[in-house]
Amino acid sequence: MRSKYRIQFAPESLDEIKQVVDYYNAISYGLGKRFKQNFIDAAKKLKTNPFYSSIRYDEVRFALIKKFPYAAHYTIDEKNKAVKIQALLAFKQNPDTNWRIRF
């Protein structure tokens, strides 16, 4: 049996998630809720298998959000069995000009 990883969030990623949920709710009633549920489903998969996605840049991987043009960019801390969601970015956003400037 695989050991489970904890999910952690960079504070900015929580803001990004809220902004996207609000954006989709403004477009259509319930669409933000659907996005949030799909995000939660992707995060649950990371708990049991954070290595399913290959490294995209630096040590960052990303999990696609089903049916939405977004991905959760995350890193893995094997020692502490944690997955840290660093950012939620639309496919058209460049990590170099978005979340990577936080460091």
Ordered structural domains, the chain, with CATH: 6-102 (3.30.2310.20)
pLDDT digit of tens for each residue in the chain (103 aa)? 467 999 999 999 999 999 999 999 999 999 999 999 999 999 999 999 999 998 988 899 999 999 999 999 999 999 999 999 999 999 887 766 655 555 4
Q: Checking phi first, is residue 72 left (phi over 0); if not, alpha (psi -120 to 50) or beta?
A: beta
pTM metric for this prediction: 0.87
Q: Would you say 7 and 80 are in contact if contact means Cβ atoms under 8 Å apart?
A: no
